[in-house]
Amino acid sequence: MIAQILVDGITSGAMIGLGAIGLTLTYGLLRFANFAHGEFATWGAYLALLVAGAIGPADPLGPLTFGWPLLAALAASMVLTALLAAALDGVLFRRLRRHGSAITLVIASFGASLALRSALEFGFGPQPWYYTRDIAMTVRLGPGMRATWDQLAVLGLAIVLMLAMHLLMTRTPLGRAMRAVSENPDLARLAGIDPARIVRVTWLLGGALAASAGVFLGVTVQLRPSMGFELLLPLFAAAILGGIGSVPGAMLGGLIIGIAEAASVPLAGAQYRAAVAFVVMLAMLLVRPSGLFGGRGG
Amino acid sequence: MSGLASYACFFFTVALTYGVATLGLNLQWGSAGLFNVGVAGFAAVGAYAAAWLTAAPAAGHWGGFQLPIALGWIGAMAAAALAAAILGAITLRLRADYLAITTFGAAVTIELVALNAQTLTGGPFGIAFIPKPFEALADRPLAFGAANLALVAAVAALAYWALERLTGSPWGRVLRALREDEAAAASLGKAPDAFRLQAFVIGAALIGLAGAMQAQFFGFIAPDNYLPVLTFQVWVMLVVGGSGNNRGALLGALAVWALWSFSGTALAALLPGTLQARGAALRVVAIGVVLAGVLLLRPRGLIGERATVSRHISG
Amino acid sequence: MLDLSGVSRRFGGARAVDGVSLAIAADGITGLIGPNGAGKSTLFNLIAGSLALSEGRIRFGAADLSHAPAHRRLAAGIGRTFQIPRPFAAMTVLENVLLAAQRQTGERPFANWLTPGAVARQERRNIAQAREIIDFLALARLAGAPAATLSGGQRKLLELARVLMAAPRLILLDEPAAGVNPSLLETIIDRIRTLHGRGIGFLIVEHNLDLIARLCSTVHVMAGGRLLASGTPQAVTADPRVIDAYLGGAA
Ligand SMILES: Nc1ncnc2c1ncn2[C@@H]1O[C@H](COP(=O)(O)OP(=O)(O)OP(=O)(O)O)[C@@H](O)[C@H]1O
Ligand SMILES: [Mg+2]
């Protein structure tokens, strides 16, 4: 039972963590809470559905329910969603940043979120979609511990993406520049870093990672227009838990939220799952508003 | 002809309930700079409280106290105020955008409770047969509509008057000072969190009242009425009307509700039957674009913030 | 009596104020001088509660203010001005001063609906008092002007007017003479004397030693975050350690 909670919690926690990385980065860099971030996950999932559909069917890979077309679609959708995120910044947020306050940006992002989601709902309808209708095969990992092969594959891919992100942030000049701008934009500019470029890169990365979270959610659950919006509260909770601006914090926060959600199911029932993130977040704000990894909250 | 008149009554009645919610949000955001993304949640708290207090007992849900409607509305304000006080006490001392996130989380949680706590709220079926004001007139649509309109107009006027009083008062002066320079105001003995909490709670009470009035005019509530799109509508009303201005808040509510109703009718007429169900989604896209446009092109709204001077100085 | 014992404040590793212990008479005029960056304003911010203490204790009379929030210190009797004036720019001069009145009935939301008469009466009394203070500080001409339009020297006066309206027992003035023209400076010195005659105490940070010599009975000297010397203005300015600190600070 406990073991099963861990398996479920870790898989969904990995997806929350992936989505929260982009959220915490834009939050730390631009100092505003982007309510449209969840929609990047939704759009990522649906864009992958379109691409995979265009490629056509293929044999599933081993025990998985999907084949190589979905992997290609994942890559394509990450690129497309990254462009969508950068475009949203260019059309809306960048202009508002120039004269509006941070809070005007939050309102605008709330509006963008509803518009993006409703546009998808108009296009695809409110009913759920699936990448395939195949039944997912499960494996026994230990006593009382089962996972689908899909879950394991998604978890593996998520870990690879997180590791890549971590290396990017710590080992490359680009990552160092991103952290420099986030900590002190003026100083970074003096050091010859172009903040506008860093902002663009942050949107691209955040959008791409959110898209991957959306595709993974689509593989393991289903696609619905509200999937990303429902992910938003866990994403914020993970970002606050880990400390705004901290990439490892977002991953750890995602994991904690995922496990807390899974653990709540036997206690309160699946229907209150989304409230768990809220409760964990409130508790964190009461005890340590700056998050586990410092950050700049409070 | 009389059909058109009763429709007009209904239209303005609903628009004015939104107006009261927008006034509440304007106190929170326009005066105190508090970013509430949980408008729908506070409206839901008010609506359910009023329904429990005034409706007849029913098997599907809790409540059934059959109190007078006026008491139901007061109870609704108290319930929403209490919810705001609890949430505000935790989050108002934190940075501004954390309030946005927590109010959003509270609204999502409230919607979940409304949907799943069947024995309390009636679950997805909601609560029906909520008594309407002037039920005795129900067989004369025009008189019924006019009486309801007069009632909500009186409430909106009272709320407007009360808020104008507040913004021109020493209390409103402190809020303006806090928005300009919190450290300076604190050095003059003003407790920032206390004033902000008061603004948040009073604003939430008005939003709860708006929720209660809508419940009572429609006679029926369900969790579907309190989705984030409601929060968004009220925000658009405030932004379009011009935040920081009570008259703007009312005007924005009227304008956006007109746009919303008209676009609904237009989409119903224009879209082929197969797409009708999705038309609602298109409406949200349209209103989102309107918001973005107003923020970009006319950030101060239709009217814009009015310079407030304390009442007794000019008078 | 304002009592500081072992008061310290760190910024990162640097100690801006480092173990300062002082006793300041609540009804005197005390000077606080020292070279740029000595930690004078930081000490002010600690006393006024705008910054949190890293170590030490602050007491005023019987009250322990060490961890009281900024807005409580005025009720305890301590008011302050800022080195760089912080008027509420969108409000008029009169409103700036009115705001500072303490214990206003009209600051309770319900009073404005339930007892508007009482609020209006008190507000009229406050307006009369605010106008007196504004007159006293030679700002009468500007009472209705937005604070944003004031000159640097006028802003200094507005800071003083505001804190006077709050009627504290001890006022902390951070560089009241900086950027003020000579005739305005005489007004300020004269007003501080008059107010002192009415029983209000002052703690004044100032680089203008002439002003310090004319007003203060006691002067404390800070350098590098520490208390360096205390005494009469004459004794202190003749102290070789003080001369050293100023020259060292200038070099
Ligand atoms: N918020 C802060 N963060 C970091 N360092 C600070 C901060 N405030 C002051 N300092 C540092 O503390 C030291 C003391 O500054 P403070 O403003 O108290 O000096 P001062 O004596 O008032 O100088 P001046 O006469 O120039 O006004 C300085 O080295 C300053 O750089
Ligand atoms: Mg200084």
Mean pLDDT for the stretch of residues B274-284? 77
**Do A67 and A58 touch, CB atoms closer than 8 A?**
yes
C41 CA distance to ligand 2 middle (Å): 4
Sign of the alpha-carbon dihedral angle for A275, A279, A282, A288 = negative
Q: Name the closest ligand to CA C13.
A: 1
Sign of the Cα torsion B183, B189, B194, B195 reads: negative
Neighbour-count burial for A266-275, b at 16+ CB within 10 Å, e otherwise: eeeeeebbbb
Residues of B within 8 A of C94 (CB-CB) are 313
Task: Answer yes or no: are the C-beta atoms of B38 and B15 closer than 8 Å.
Answer: no
Low-confidence stretches of chain C (pLDDT beneath 70): 248-251
Q: Subunits that touch chain B (at least 3 Cβ pairs < 8 angstroms)?
A: A, C
- List Cβ neighbours of B287 (8 Å cut-off, separation of 6 or more): A111, A114, B232, B233, B236, B256, B259, B260, B263
Q: Shortest Cα distance from B138 to chain C (angstroms)?
A: 35
Angle of helix B228-241 relative to helix A102-124, nearest 10 degrees, comes to 130
Is C48:C80 a contact under the CB 8 Å cutoff?
Answer: yes
Which pLDDT score is estimated for C18?
Answer: 93
Q: Across the interface, do A121 and B278 touch by the CB < 8 Å criterion?
A: yes
pLDDT digits (tens, 9 = 90+) for B102-117: 999 999 999 999 999 9
**Which tokens in the block code for residue A154?**
């998604």
Give the count of Cβ contacts less than 8 A between chain B and C.
106
Task: Give pLDDT tens digits for C77-99.
Answer: 999 999 999 999 999 999 999 99
Please indicate whether residue C38, judged by its CB atom, sits closer than 6 Å to ligand 1: yes
Rg (CA), chain C: 19
Residue-level pLDDT at B308: 66
pLDDT at C56: 95
Taking domain C2-87+150-246, whether its CATH number is 3.40.50.300 is answered by yes
According to DSSP, the residues that pair with A129 across neighbouring strands are A223
Eight-state DSSP code of residue A296: T
Tell me whether residues A297 and B94 touch, CB distance under 8 A.
yes
Given a contact cutoff of 8 angstroms between Cβ atoms, the answer to whether B203 and B28 are in contact is yes
Q: Tell me if residue B89 falls in helix, strand or coil.
A: helix
Task: Kindly give the pairing relationship between strand C218-223 and strand C226-231.
Answer: antiparallel
Residue with the nearest Cα to atom 29 of ligand 1? Answer: C37
Smallest CA–CA distance, residue C189 to chain B, in Å, is 23
Burial class of residue B158 in the structure, from the number of CB atoms within 10 Å of its CB (0-12 exposed, 13-18 middle, 19+ buried): exposed
Whole-complex ipTM: 0.91
Domains and CATH numbers, chain A: 2-287 (1.10.3470)
Neighbours of B293 (CB within 10 A): 12
* Residue C84 beta carbon below 6 angstroms from any ligand 1 atom: no
Q: For residue B61, what pLDDT band results from cuts at 50, 70 and 90?
A: confident
Of the two residues A130 and B276, the one the predictor is more confident about is A130
Where along chain B do its domains lie?
2-225
What does the alpha-carbon distance between residue B159 and residue B214 come to, in Å, rounded to a whole number? 16
Q: Where are the domains of chain C?
A: 2-87+150-246
Distance from CA of B46 to the nearest CA of C (A): 21
Sort out which chain A residues have CB atoms less than 8 A from B292's CB and list them: 92, 108, 111-112, 115
pLDDT tens digits, one per residue of B2-29:
788 888 999 999 999 999 999 999 999 9
Tokens coding A18: 């992936």
Answer whether residue B193 shows pLDDT above 70: yes
Cβ separation C99–B198 shorter than 8 A:
no
C115 touches chain B (CB under 8 A): no
Q: What is the pLDDT along chain A (298 residues), one digit of tens a residue?
A: 788 888 889 999 999 999 999 999 999 888 888 999 999 999 999 999 999 999 988 888 888 888 899 999 999 999 999 999 999 999 889 888 887 666 678 888 988 998 899 999 989 988 999 998 888 888 888 887 888 899 999 999 999 999 999 999 999 999 999 888 888 888 888 888 888 899 999 999 999 999 999 999 999 999 999 999 999 999 999 999 999 888 999 999 999 999 999 999 888 888 888 899 999 999 988 888 888 876 544 3
* Cα C43 to averaged position of ligand 1 atoms, centre (Å): 9
Q: Which residues does residue B221 pair with via DSSP β-bridges, in sequence order?
A: B127
The number of residues in chain A equals 298
Ligand closest to the CA atom of residue C32? 1
What pLDDT shows up at residue B315? 39
DSSP for C5-73 reads EEEEEEETTEEEEEEEEEEE-TTSEEEEE-STTSSHHHHHHHHHTSS--SEEEEEETTEE-TT--HHHH
pLDDT of residue C179: 81
Partner C contacted by B308 (CB < 8 A): no
Mean pLDDT of chain B: 90
C248: exposed, middle or buried (C-beta count within 10 Å: 0-12, 13-18, 19+)? exposed
Q: Would the CB of C81 count as within 6 Å of ligand 1?
A: no
Would you give the DSSP letter of residue B27?
I
Pairing verdict, β C63-64 and C226-231? unpaired
Atom number of ligand 1 nearest to Cα C207? 25
pLDDT tens per residue across span B141-160: 889 999 999 999 999 999 99
- A56-86 burial, b for 16+ CB within 10 Å, e for fewer? eeeebeeebbbbebbbebbbbbbebbbebbb
Q: Is any Cβ of chain C less than 8 angstroms from the Cβ of B139?
A: no
Q: Do B171 and C123 touch (CB under 8 A)?
A: no
Q: Is there contact between A and B if contact means ≥3 C-beta pairs under 8 Å?
A: yes
The C-alpha atoms of residue A14 and residue A16 are separated, in whole angstroms, by 5
Closest CA to B93 of B218, B192, B2: B192
A205 sits in which H/E element: helix A195-220
pLDDT at C251: 41
DSSP β-bridge partners for residue C230 = C220
Going along C74-217, which residue ranges are E strands?
78-80, 170-174, 201-205
Among B170, B180, B191, the residue with its CB nearest the CB of C71 is: B191
Chains C and A, touching by 3 or more CB pairs within 8 angstroms: no
Q: How far is it, in rounded angstroms, from Cα B180 to Cα B1?
A: 52
Query: pLDDT at position A102, please?
Result: 67
Q: Which two tokens stand for residue C199?
A: 């029983």
Looking only at the bridges linking them, the beta strands covering C2-11 and C55-60 are: antiparallel
